[in-house]
Structure 1
Amino acid sequence: MVSARILCCSEGPELAPQNLGNPLHSPMPTPHEAEKQHTGPEEADRPPSMSSHDAAPSGPPSRNPCCLCWCCCCSCSWNQERQRAWQVSRESKLQPLPSCEVCTPPSPEEVQSWAQSFDKLMHSPTGRSVFRAFLRTEYSEENMLFWLACEELKAEANQHVVDEKARLIYEDYVSILSPKEVSLDSRVREGINRKMQEPSPHTFDDAQLQIYTLMHRDSYPRFLTSPTYRSLLLQGAPQSSEA
């Protein structure tokens, strides 16, 4: 009995520190353990997360590498502005004739004046519309479209819009890769290529004059003998005879 009692007393001091139920005998927690006790065992092993107030500002989005090239997949503000200007130019470049000009029937006197000179035909909005329809039957409508686009370019004062419209005119009517390419000689083409480095409202003046002359000498005589023009003359004939 005595030996067993001594053994029990000697084990007392060793078992006392392991009594976790009594806070007075608990060992001092280490800093790492204290952090785990504060945040929980699962959150302590998780990377620290920032709240919405402590989150660092995201800053401007990094520039897409495609901004360094002339493609359209970039979302930077410069390319978006360029795309908007391009869209405005694309939508308006072939709208020089209001719909009322196409719908307004010409008077007999006006129709007869078209035979007097090509200038009178081209200065008449309705005459341009009728002549354009005739050129479409001859698969040469691009000549009128080019001339009208040049007229619109010469009326533009905004340099940024001038640059965009000049580029569109070049791609649509001057480039050899375009299906609507107009017939220009090498001298005029070389002059356009030089002027395209710094486009202006008069970049295509020489080319416009050449196409104007081509329509005057080639298409205009056939237009005057075409069924389209003769039918317009006959429509006004009864009114002229009654007068």
Structure 2
Amino acid sequence: MGVKERGQQRPPLEGRSLECEGDVNHSAKTPAPASPQYTGPDPSESPMSRYDRNQATRNHRSNPCCFCWCCCCSCSWNEDRNRRRRFSRDTKLEAVPYCEVCSKPTSEEVDSWASSFEKLMKNPAGRNIFREFLRTEYSEENMLFWLACEELKKDHSKHSIEEKTRMIYEDYVSILSPKEVSLDSRVREVINRRMQEPSCHTFDDAQLQIYTLMHRDSYPRFLNSSIYKALLQNISRSSSES
């Protein structure tokens, strides 16, 4: 018959085997080249271009999360906050700028410190040893602020008082300072008003608040610390040997 039957169609090309399309065996094509082995950085590529490419990859991985106040370790705000904390801690661990000149305390004086915080703070040797303890708790700024206020009260020069007041504010009251002491809002308002006309009593309320904080918070731990116990032992040993 010269006419094809109705409904009979030629099979689509996709269904025909590849071997039937010709005498070319596609499975015998040229094998894929082996993966190149790393032989070191390309000499023609500058180190800076490699750094830019790697930096872009790292930035893509550590994009900040949607809420910058979350606890995600990849949050850029969280990284900045941790960086500021480390800077604050390192600043507090700097070398002691000065220690008060004092004589060696007697055993009676050291014993009295356990019964009275006031006696501890009135004794230069007691302040030095208590300050050493505060450094271990990263709260030395409380003692430094208290000492600075004591020095301010001894000054009578108007120009010197204004200069010292400004320095104390910048070092211990300003929220931008790594040595900022803990003060409530009421005391801060009092300081801000008094800073308009600085005097040797500008920080009286703040000094009292820090004194109370050290008395209630740090002093009990100081009495149980290894620093104070070691001092007691050394003093007792020296007294018995003499």
TM-score for both structures, normalised by structure 2? 0.58
Task: Report the equivalent of 2:191.
Answer: 192
Match of 2:150 in 1: 151
Residues 50-129 of structure 1: pairs in structure 2 closer than 5 A? 97-98=99-100, 100-101=101-102, 104-129=103-128
After alignment, is 207-216 or 226-235 more displaced?
226-235
| Counterpart position of 1:48 | none
Q: Equivalents in 2 of 1:166, 1:111: separation in Å?
A: 33
Question: Where does structure 2 lack aligned partners over 5 or more consecutive residues?
Answer: 1-96
Which structure has the larger Rg? 1
> Residue 131 in 1 paired to residue 130 in 2?
yes
Once residues 238 and 176 of structure 2 are traced to their aligned partners in structure 1, the CA distance between those partners, rounded to angstroms, is 49
SS at match of 2:190: helix
Give the secondary-structure state (helix, strand or coil) at the position aligned to 2:176: coil
SS of equivalent to 1:135: helix
* 2:177 paired residue number: 178
Deviations 1:156-187 (A, max 9, x none): 00000000000000000000000000000000
Other-structure match for 1:161: 160
Per the TM alignment, residue 238 of structure 1 is displaced from its structure 2 partner at its CA by 3.7
Q: Cα offset for 1:242?
A: 7.5
SS at match of 1:156: coil
Aligned to 2:222, what secondary structure does the other structure show?
Answer: helix
Amino acid at match of 1:195: R
SS at match of 1:166: helix
**Is the deviation greater in 107-116 or in 184-193?**
107-116
1:194-209 to structure 2, matched below 5 A, reads 194-209=193-208
| Partner Cα separation in structure 2 for residue 185 and residue 157 of structure 1 | 28
Following the alignment from structure 1 to structure 2, what is the Cα–Cα distance between the partners of residues 128 and 137?
14
Q: Percent identity?
A: 70
Q: How far apart, in 2, do the equivalents of 1:240 and 1:189 lie?
A: 47
Unaligned runs of 5+ in 1: 1-93
Equivalents in 1 of 2:237, 2:138: separation in Å?
33
Q: 1:236 aligns to what SS in structure 2?
A: helix
* Length, aligned pairs only: 146
> Taking structure 1 as the reference length, what is the TM-score of the superposition?
0.57
How far did residue 116 of structure 1 move? Answer: 1.2
* Separation in structure 1 between the aligned mates of residue 238 and residue 131 of structure 2, nearest angstrom: 26
CA distance change for structure 1 residues 191 and 238 in 2, over 3 Å: closer, same or farther? same
The CA distance in 1 between the partners of 2:153 and 2:236, in whole Å, is 38
Question: CA shift at 1:236, angstroms?
Answer: 2.5
DSSP 3-state at the match of 1:181: coil
**Alpha carbon RMSD of aligned pairs, Å?**
1.7
Specify which structure has the higher proportion of helix: 1
Counterpart position of 2:223: 224
1: CA distance between counterparts of 2:237 and 2:199? 49
Question: Post-superposition shift, 1:240?
Answer: 5.6
